Amino acid sequence: MGYDPENPMQGRITDIGPPHYEQYFPPVIKENYGKWKYHEITQPGVLKHVSETGAECYTARIACARLISIELIRDYCKVADDHCEGFLRWTTRNNVEFMVDSEAKLQPLLDDLAKHGMMPVGGTGAGLTNVVHTQGWVHCHTPATDASGVVKAVMDELFDYFTSMTLPAQVRIALACCLNMCGAVHCSDIAILGVHRKPPLIDNDVISAVCELPLAVASCPLGAIKPAKGINTKGEEVKSVTVKEERCMFCGNCYTMCPAMPLADPEGDGIAILVGGKISNRISGPKFSKMVIPFLPNTPPRWPETVDAVKNILEVYAKDANKYERLGDWAERIGWEKFFEKCNIPFSDKCIDDYRLAYDTWRTTTQFKYTSHIK
Amino acid sequence: MPKHDTPLLDQLESGPWPSFVTDLKRQAETKDECWDILGQLELSYKDKVTHWKHGGIVGVFGYGGGIIGRYSDVPDKFPGVAHFHTVRLNQPSSKFYSTDILLRICEMWERRGSGMTNFHGSTGDMVLLGTSTPQLEEIFWEATHDLKMDLGGSGGNLRTPSCCIGKARCEWSCYDTQAACYDITMTYQDELHRPAFPYKFKTKFSGCPNDCVAAGVRSDFSVIGNWRDDIRIDQAEVQEYIKGNSPPNAGAHAGRDWGAFDIQKEVIDLCPTNCMTMAGNDLKIDNSECTRCMHCINVMPKALRPGTDTGACILIGAKAPILDGAQMSTMIFPFVKMVPGEGDPPEGGFEDYKELLEKTWDWWMEEGKNRERIGESIQRIGLPTFLQIMEVEPIPQHVQEPRSNPYVFWKSEEVPGGFERDVKAYRARHAM
Ligand code: HEM
Ligand code: SF4
Ligand code: SF4
Ligand code: SF4
Ligand code: SF4
């Protein structure tokens, strides 16, 4: 029996929730649950966990593009069937992990991963791991840039940092293709963020049909949208809105609420770079990423300006920071004026906060460094 | 045979990082609609804008979320993606799978969808990309009956909870994150499937302050493992690090020559509270000063371990920028015991957590405005008022530092005699 459209309620099952996690544990995980004693990274991309019982679990971590086909998932399954007793897992950062219970089983696993071509091993320790990212032009209606393409371009260039552990600390790059930030990139070492720069269009031909105007008006955090009469292409007067353009900060919330107010534009849209955020509480508390480059153009298919900017920041940090120092901690230690100087990034008034609570980020001390910015 | 030319996307086939373009092309050999994904994406690469319409409302009967409507704005050119809805399937805790279940999901998605997925969505669900409206009930039927899986959340509801790998393969987990994630997801199925909140609400479970699942900055109700006794020290293992026999930070820095390990420089001097010293050969920690930042434990995992009186710290209110700017969660409950329940579905577990969660919801469902995240609701009413509502005694741990402005909202009942005063009596004493 399957679904019967004539009888939709017949045999219906709801609210069963996710399957219980334990049935998907490899035996070594199940047997040593809660008994792990310590771990070691034996080579880039390989973790060794040792249990109080003496049992060992070797994990090989590989990059996954997140946007993946069922054919590729089947390839992953083949590896897991051949080497890992039919189990595998994903990490919170879109990596795939294959686990074996002895060192002897590790090398054959690594060999098979290497043979495949789309399963690079890495993403551990003081290196670069996979990029948390969003949907982009592949599947969303509000993006200011693509997601998968930018990630591919950036990671092709920075690939050696994924397969090695030469950085001062781990570096987390994340990408969100609009300010909705489905990837929640606001606390990343390096955040790549799609931004709009033109106020919404107003489509008077459809606005009264497709929008609840009061909701559109209320959607604007800055009160830039007001009810107004508009003229449609037939020359008729219709209920509509106006946007006070000088007030708009291009957040796109109006478009989320009202399909007749699109912002996207080939010249207007592009990428901002924010840096210095972190999530963990290690040494310093979590930090927001800060905007250092307000705009780079959308240049598909390989976004060279964005790739160069990210690579430059990463490499200046890698050379200059102390062991264990996260990118944001480094920038704070040397001072943001030094950050801009060392990275050779022009400072811009766009990097000075003028939104709510902005004052918190303005400098109110005589303590600063003389950099080339002071003429 | 390619259905569309994709000269721009083709340039993303080279390079060492796995190529989604190569992957899509391979899938297109059996799933024709993948050509149209590629075709439409190529058009976006040419036009530098998206070609997806504002999503329509679609779903399965009785659920208010879990399916996101999506339509192409160039359906004539790319009929294979004219309707291209997303199905969110609730992932198992910390995303372990058997190949058996994955292959069955793949088989279903081959018949009923595009063959493309996101593993995973940033909230945590398995995201199946691309199907049409008539398939939705069929997919839901197969998911619940054959795969024993359910939809994840979307809309103004409890979003799919997620957790770090925790006790399954990490020595630092201060509570059972996977059990918590499963229990809470099972207990609040109604809140997950039938949006009744002002806006989305996320809860995430990390086992320790390293916060691998980004609970503290990416969820409204952030549960981060913690302990309140002493860091466990194995002095013999400390010596192994000092002698250079154990790799610092579990070998995380092995790719560069940072010189010999120096416990003073790399651990003691970097401790944010300066609460560590060497007394002869022994490492001493003044645990009453320690803020449990994890640094020393991360550097010497064989020698140091979190304490054994463990639970979680609960922080509330993180969100991405829309509307009022990004927020991190604010520490509200310093220490909550996280005791798992028994059985499946679990019973009697995580009661302290659930009580706090429900109390928070009760208030927010009353007072939260439409499309206002709870962090914004708390900002609007102020932290002191929120603490009062939650019946939490204010403590210095709730703030980074005390306020520096003098604008205190005293209440009438807090001031002797209250706010009722007689202006005539005042004037009798003070002429204008
Ligand atoms: C309109 C098209 C949108 C699409 C296609 C989209 C897609 C997604 C997807 C697939 C996820 C992961 C879901 C999961 O794992 O269960 C997600 C998460 C998220 N969405 Fe969206 N979303 C959209 C709109 C929005 C809007 C309007 C907002 C904010 C106002 C938003 C904020 C977020 C955030 C912050 C996350 C990440 C949550 C986390 O990491 O825990 N999204 N989105
Ligand atoms: S970040 Fe914005 S554009 Fe990107 S998927 Fe989310 S809502 Fe869509
Ligand atoms: S983009 Fe944001 S600021 Fe601009 S009008 Fe729309 S809602 Fe207002
Ligand atoms: S958050 Fe802590 S307990 Fe959880 S996986 Fe990360 S380090 Fe381990
Ligand atoms: S956990 Fe952090 S604060 Fe505590 S002793 Fe270790 S380094 Fe110091």
pLDDT, one tens digit per residue, over A36-72 is 999 999 999 999 999 999 999 999 999 999 999 999 9
**pLDDT on residue B111:** 97
Q: Find residue B127's DSSP bridge partners.
A: B88, B118
Please indicate whether, in this complex, the C-beta atoms of B97 and A87 are within 8 angstroms of each other. Answer: yes
List, for residues B338-364, the tens digit of each pLDDT value: 999 999 889 999 999 999 999 999 999
Handedness of CA B28, B29, B30, B35 (dihedral sign): positive
């902005």: which residue's tokens?
A358
- A76-99: per-residue pLDDT in tens? 999 999 999 999 999 999 999 999
Measured from the alpha carbon of residue A219, the closest ligand is 3
Is the CA virtual torsion A6, A7, A11, A16 positive or negative? positive
The minimum CA-CA distance between A372 and chain B, rounded to whole Å, is 31
Residue B322: band (very low, low, confident or very high) from pLDDT cuts 50, 70, 90: confident
Please, what's the b/e burial string for B391-421 (b: 16 or more CB within 10 A of its CB; e: otherwise)?
eeeeeeebeeeeeeeeeeeeeeeeeeeeeee
Can you tell me the distance from the alpha carbon of A321 to that of A306, in angstroms, rounded to the nearest whole number?
Answer: 22
Instruction: State pTM to two decimals.
Output: 0.97
**Per-residue model confidence as pLDDT tens digits over A177-228:** 999 999 879 999 999 999 999 999 999 999 999 999 999 999 999 999 999 9
Q: What is the DSSP letter of B374?
A: H
Task: Find the helix or strand (DSSP H, E) in which A297 lies.
Answer: strand A290-297
* Overall average pLDDT of the A256-275 stretch: 97
Reported in sequence order, the residue ranges of A87-146 that DSSP labels E, i.e. its strands, are: 87-90, 96-100
Distance CA B338, CA B313 (A): 10
**Listed residue (B67, B194, B181, B37) closest to B127, CA to CA:** B67
pLDDT above 80 (res A357): no
- ipTM topping 0.85: yes
Mutate which: A48, A67, A261, A274, vs B, most B CBs within 10 A: A67
Residue A307, C-beta contacts closer than 8 angstroms, at least 6 positions apart: A153, A154, A157
Whether the domain at B162-228+309-398 and the domain at B232-305 fall into the same CATH topology: no
- Tens-place pLDDT, residues B61-100: 999 999 999 999 999 999 999 999 999 999 999 999 999 9
The residues spanned by each domain of chain B are 7-146, 162-228+309-398, 232-305
Q: Report the mean per-residue pLDDT for chain B.
A: 96
B326 pLDDT band, cuts 50/70/90, is very high
* Closest to A41 measured CA to CA, from B265, B259, B246: B246
Name every chain B residue with its beta carbon within 8 A of the beta carbon of A134.
122
User: Which class does domain B232-305 fall in?
Assistant: alpha beta
**Integer CA distances (angstroms), B404 to A364, B394, B410, in order:** 15, 17, 16
A336-347 residue pLDDT tens: 999 999 999 999
Chain-centre distance for alpha carbon B338: 18
For residues A291-311, give the mean pLDDT. 98
If you average pLDDT over every residue of chain A, what do you get? 96
Is A8–B293 a contact, with Cβ atoms under 8 angstroms apart? no
- Percent of chain B past pLDDT 70, that is, above it, reads 100
DSSP labels, B274-339: --EEEETTEEEE-TTT----SHHHHH-TTTEE--SSEEEEEEE--B-STTT--BPPEEEEEEE---
Residues of chain A with C-beta less than 8 angstroms from the C-beta of B150 = 14-18
Per the CATH hierarchy, to which homologous superfamily does domain B162-228+309-398 belong? Sulfite Reductase Hemoprotein, domain 1 (3.30.413.10)
B16 — contact with chain A (CB < 8 Å)? Answer: yes
**Pocket test residue of B208, B264, B273 for ligand 5, highest count of atoms within 8 A of CB:** B273
- CATH number assigned to the domain with residue range B7-146, chosen from the 4 options 3.40.50.1100, 3.40.50.410, 3.40.50.510, 3.30.70.2500: 3.30.70.2500
Q: Residue A276 and residue A172: Cα distance in Å, rounded?
A: 10
Rg (CA), chain A: 25
